[in-house]
Amino acid sequence: MKRLIAYFLIGSVPFFAQEIKFPASLDKLAAKAVESVDVTLDSSMLKLAGKFLSGDDPDSAKVKKLIAGLKGIYVKSFEFSKEGEYSEADVEAVRSQLKAPGWSRIVGVRSKRQGDNAEVYIKSDSNGIVGLTIVAAEPKELTLVNIDGPIDLDQLTDLGGHFGVPKMDLDRSAKPKKAEPK
Amino acid sequence: MRPPRSAALFFLFLSVAAFAADRDFNALVKSIESHYGTNRVRIPLLGLTKAFVKVARPYGARQLNLAVFENLPAPGDADLADFQALLREVGPGWQPLVRVHSRRDSETTSIFARPAGRDIHLLVATREREEATLVEIQVTEQLLARWLVDPKRMGECIVVTGDKEAPDCDQE
């Protein structure tokens, strides 16, 4: 009977537990964008993906390890035909959430696709990094990534290109020392 | 010999879940029909539709429901947004997974997922040209896991419309 109740609960629990809330205004940007992609992978989907990733293939094994403890990956990306299609307020609605305690901006990480304008924020507690948000705001492109859960920055590059996360480059020389609290 | 009570309850749960999934699918069909003032193409006529729709059935996937809507107005920006709004009425328990919206191709695709025992039900809604397609398929966890690695392509892996080439999506 307990199992039955569990099945019902699994089916009925709202999946949403995303810590950084992407504002509803971003959904309206999809209508202006030439292309937009919205990916929502909660812990159950990530567990499922991890369950079947091959441990034999080195690349898959890295990704499998990386997503093992994650609670969610949320990606929103927009590509516009001209500049000025999104406002600073659209992005600020996300940035303001990253001023909460525990969040800090790091430098030395850049997106291969987005150039140097990617801001990377991490959330830390006594156990280490427990969340990461990327805000890549280009004149004609906007990409927001929220990774909920413990993640090793050195492995972030391995996640790029998977689950809708853009490919990232890590500038290891700059990363560890230049954290600037927001 | 009587089957164990837990097994009977489990099958009851599966029946209820299947009923709920059908109800959600039919409700969405009605919403689309009502919004566009049209009816879905009847199953015996699907082969005669102008809209060539192919639902991919790689190993591990089973088609449950399909509805095709033809002769809709060519989708403008507002229409694509309206179509997305209709999909928000999908029943509880469906998790939004991926939404790809392209003004360049006047096309929008949304995919929702819902656990169904050991498998997963996927609801895929596409709107392009003068057509809309609603597909519900059941996939194994293994197949979905492979598709999740590149979620942007997932819609193309499931529904192939018009003269598009079916991508090779079910590779290990």
Within a domain: B129: yes
Predicted local distance difference test score (pLDDT) of residue A177: 37
Count Cβ atoms below 10 Å from residue A109 Cβ, excluding itself: 22
- For residues A154 and A177, the model is more confident at A154
Cα(B27)–Cα(B9) distance, integer angstroms: 27
B interface residues, A as partner, C-beta within 8 Å: 6, 9-10, 13, 17, 77-78, 80-81, 84, 92-93, 95-104, 113-115, 117, 120, 141-142, 144-146, 148-152, 172
Within a domain: B123: yes
Within a domain: B167: no
H helical segments located in chain B: 5-36, 77-87, 141-148, 154-158
- Domain count for chain B: 1
Q: What is the pTM of this model?
A: 0.80
Cβ-proximal residues to A5 (8 Å cutoff; 6+ apart), any chain:
none
Q: Over the stretch B66-105, which tens digit does the pLDDT of each residue have? A: 899 988 887 777 777 788 888 888 888 899 999 998 888 8
Give the domain range for residue B51: 5-161
**Rounded to 5°, angle at Cα B147 from B143 and B151:** 155
Within a domain: B170: no
Task: Kindly report the nearest CA distance between residue B49 and chain A, in angstroms.
Answer: 28
Within a domain: B168: no
Cβ-proximal residues to B71 (8 Å cutoff; 6+ apart), any chain:
B38, B130
- For residues A28 and B54, the model is more confident at A28
Q: A71 pLDDT band (50/70/90 cuts)?
A: very high
- Above 0.85 for ipTM, yes or no? no
Q: Over the stretch B4-28, which tens digit does the pLDDT of each residue have? A: 666 665 555 555 555 566 788 999 9
Share of chain B above pLDDT 90, in %: 23
